[in-house]
Structure 1
Amino acid sequence: MTARPLSRSAIFAQAWPIILGQTTVPLVGLADTVVIGRTGDAAALAGVALGTTVINFLFWTFGFLRMGMTGMTAQAQGADDEDEVRAMLIRGLVLGLAIGSALFVLQWLLIPAAFALLAGGEAIDASAKGYVAARFWGAPASLAVFAINGWLLGLGRTRAALVLQIVMNLINVVLDILFVWKLDMGAAGVGLGTALAEWSALVTGLVIAARVLGPGMARSIGERRKELFTRPALRRLFAVNANIMIRTVALLMMFAWFANAGARLGTVPLAANQVMMQFVSVSAFVLDGFAFTAESRIGGAIGRGSRDDYLRAIRLTGEFTLAAGLLFAGLFFTCGDAVIDMVTNNEAVRDQASALLPLTALVPLIGAPAWLFDGIFIGATRGASLRNAALVSTCAYILTDLALRPAGAQGVWIALLAGYGYRALALGCYLPALTRSIAQADRGA
């Protein structure tokens, strides 16, 4: 399970499967948008946008099942503790299935509460609620897949993670087309297709995990089952993940605020924001390939107590991240209008989206440092730093959005750009202390 030595070719070899797999995630979001958008129903398109915001908030509140798992697994691998590597997978799976099941049971309470806070309107809310209710059927599988994906990324098994992602996303696209275009299920069909794809991904992930661990996995886990959920192990798990959970909730609040800001402006601006968020998703998920690689490499360096590996991992992943940010900014400026025309045939939505394109094109450039810093601090399992930076940047973003409300839709996007900048700045302030701590560990090794 040893990772390849640090070099540009090794970083790219580890990152490209993540990039390819991550690319399919926003492409599925884009496919969802196209499937609904080509019907010409702006309310249904806006409903998917609002429903996606609700699901992202509820499910990604527990995103520590992916992020915390990656950092802690990478550190266990760096310390050559294979027993702990196995134990991390089981803990993550049990926790993901349990939390997902609780979400499914509590949906009767969560769905009304979520929509009471959002300014969608009757027609939009009807579509959004159908989407959200369907997505809840996949909640246990979705959160368990978070854990499997984080575990694979922590081990540097990016090709296995790619297979998992592709299986889920291909099934998702096929089912979306079937349910919406053939069965005319609207936004609810998009949600049901995603839920069924998540259960397919869980089965696939379990098969992949069994192959990674080998035939002795069940026996090894059975022999150590009493150690899987000991108090010290659970205390560390929850200490790291509680802070990451707060961080995730703060960032989800930022994007929920962004979605609600669009909804407040009306159906067409909200639908246009949904179209433009596909650009943001594509760039974010691709650049996350290098951030996830940083998580694995930083975690492994800390597990070994190697300051040199830590610094080199930051430099090499940083080079790739900034280059990719520049590339995407250029592509969006030059090709954005053609993509907008492909996504929707509603002229009002097209015009609104095109007006927002210059601001949207800046997101991958301004967001790149924030995404990279996330990877560094997640790999280092510095939950408190992630938590504090997210809280500060989200509060600053909200204040900025309130100040820019007279600017309408343009102000909504300028505030979002500022939010990425605030996050990078806040995390950057913690980087020197993190680096000093790695230096001390290296001297003590």
Structure 2
Amino acid sequence: MENNTSQSLDQTIPNQDDLLPRFFRLAIANVLSNIMVPLANTMSVAFLGHLSEINHLAGVALAGNLSSLVFLFLASLRMSTTGLTAQAVGRDDREAMLLVGLRNALIALVLGIAIISLKNPLQELGFGLLTATPEVKASAIAYFNAQVWGAPAVLLNFVLLGWLIGREKNGLVVLLSVTGNITNIALDYLFITQWGWESTGAGLSYTTSQYLALSIGLIIVCLEVKWQELQNLAGKIWDTSAIVSTFTLGGNILLNNFIFLSAVVIFNYESAAQGTITYAENALLLQVIFLCSFFIEGLGFGTEALSGNFKGKGDSTQLVALVKISVGTSLLIGLFFAGVCVLFPQTVFGLLTSHKEITEQIDTYVFWLLPVLGFISVAYILDGYFLGLTEGHTLRNVSFLSFVVGFLPPDIAAFSVHSYRNHILWLALSLFLLVRLVLFVVQLPRTFQTEIPQPAMSSSVITEQLPET
């Protein structure tokens, strides 16, 4: 290994003794980065909502669901990048750390170009199955056709953020997120309100902001990584076993995301089947869950980076301490959100809607936030913990068993008990999260087993350390 690619990462590895402040620095940076996303989305909706024709708002919402679904699946790129990068940093292996970023960036670029190439089939499949007026569909297609050109930048930004999170570059994570989302808001105002580009303007603002954030990220990388290092690593990027293992890890994470999303989609579908009022009540409760999730995910990202780092060092003592700190903090946040809603339901949900027929009856179901947010706050953290350990197969298996054992039985039973159907539906979601939590906890002890720190390895070997599927 050349000296310039094997130089020590000591300057990029924070002191292992300051776990508590280290965890919260990561958590705060990731929470700030996370909350920028709903802020930008809300502002886009506001600009479109003030146009004379409502079909632009409806069309963008329709197309946004399709693109969000595609990008949600491919967010596994960020998740797999963080864990592998953190482990390389923990082993003090600069070559491995660089190769993880380069290899995953190459995969992201190929997938992004593939999405652009398949934009017509994706458009026909996504919008052909949906019922909407011709005007709404036209707006949706205009937005999608403008937004899809940003696919390579979106996926490369996933990898870049995962790489920075894995290296605990907190300030840069916030910088890129704020830059991308603030630019999106500013361009929305310019393209939609000032220039009247409507749905196309909304799509172009998203695409442009993604490429701007990517440009800044690439400048940062170029300032840090020497050209000679990239030349020395070029031949190792195409390591077949490493690429196969990367795809295996990403595929398991993708399946985990798909199963989790399936439970939420089924919950929404069956909520809608119970009538408008019940659907609206459930939608408001889910909004609270989603809002809380942005905070909990920030803690999960921090847990992911640190668990990967400690695994790379073989430091099982720090893994135990990390789980205690992260789970305790996340549980407090989840129960705080639930407690405020249970104690002050009319005040909280009155801010979200002025329809009294919804807020007056929401007391019947609001207590379900206690188990759901309690379970999900712990499950999210352990999800991040096992992501950092790059145990994609564990995430996949836990999600599958949780869905089959926890969610499906009560969900099927809900069809035959009409009087309490919505309560049973919430029970199904709660049990899905509870079984998921229990299965994660059962897996924890083996991850705490003492491991002997390994010397820096060639990065062509790093992915061979992934668990077998």
Once the two structures are superposed, residues 234-288 of structure 1 have per-residue CA deviations (whole angstroms, 9 ceiling, x without a partner) of 1321222221122122233344445555676799988887776554433212111
1:145-156 matches, within 5 Å, as 145-156=157-168
1:267-306 matches, within 5 Å, as 278-306=287-315
Query: In structure 1, which of residues 158, 165, 169 is the aligned counterpart of residue 170 of structure 2?
Result: 158
Q: CA deviation at 1:55?
A: 1.5
Match of 2:378?
369
CA pair 191-371 structure 1, distance change in 2 beyond 3 A: farther
Match of 1:71?
83
What residue ranges of structure 2 are gaps of 5+ in the alignment?
1-11, 456-469
Q: CA deviation at 1:74?
A: 0.6
The normalised TM-score by structure 1 is: 0.84
Q: CA deviation at 1:152?
A: 0.6
Match of 1:229?
238
1:176-187 matches, within 5 Å, as 176-187=188-199
> Counterpart amino acid of 1:195?
T
Q: CA deviation at 1:321?
A: 0.7
CA distance in 1 between partners of 2:165 and 2:425 (Å): 32
Answer yes or no: is 1:93 the counterpart of 2:105.
yes
1:25-424 matches, within 5 Å, as 25-37=37-49, 45-118=57-130, 125-211=137-223, 214=224, 216-258=225-267, 260=269, 278-332=287-341, 334=344, 336-337=348-349, 339-340=351-352, 352=358, 359=366, 364-395=373-404, 397=407, 400-401=410-411, 403-404=413-414, 415=425, 418-419=428-429, 421-424=431-434
> Counterpart amino acid of 1:377?
F
CA distance in 2 between partners of 1:135 and 1:276 (Å): 30
Once the two structures are superposed, residues 8-63 of structure 1 have per-residue CA deviations (whole angstroms, 9 ceiling, x without a partner) of 22211221111111111122223233334456977655544443332122112212
Q: CA deviation at 1:123?
A: 6.3
Once the two structures are superposed, residues 107-140 of structure 1 have per-residue CA deviations (whole angstroms, 9 ceiling, x without a partner) of 1111222234456676655544443333212111
Secondary structure of the residue aligned to 1:219 is helix
> Counterpart amino acid of 1:234?
I
Task: Single out whichever of 308-317 and 240-249 deviates more from structure 2.
Answer: 240-249
Q: Is this contact kept in 1: 2:88–2:97, CA < 8 A?
A: yes
Q: Is this contact kept in 1: 2:320–2:448, CA < 8 A?
A: no
CA distance in 1 between partners of 2:203 and 2:427 (Å): 29
CA distance in 2 between partners of 1:317 and 1:66 (Å): 20
Task: Single out whichever of 185-194 and 170-179 deviates more from structure 2.
Answer: 185-194
Match of 1:2?
13
Match of 1:344?
none
Q: CA deviation at 1:67?
A: 0.3
Identity of aligned residues (%): 26
Q: Is this contact kept in 2: 1:28–1:173, CA < 8 A?
A: yes
CA pair 247-192 structure 1, distance change in 2 beyond 3 A: same
> Counterpart amino acid of 1:428?
V
What residue ranges of structure 1 are gaps of 5+ in the alignment?
342-346
The normalised TM-score by structure 2 is: 0.80
Query: In structure 1, which of residues 3, 22, 25 is the aligned counterpart of residue 34 of structure 2?
Result: 22
Q: Is this contact kept in 1: 2:191–2:202, CA < 8 A?
A: yes
Answer yes or no: is 1:425 the counterpart of 2:435.
yes
What is the aligned-residue RMSD (CA, Å)? 3.6
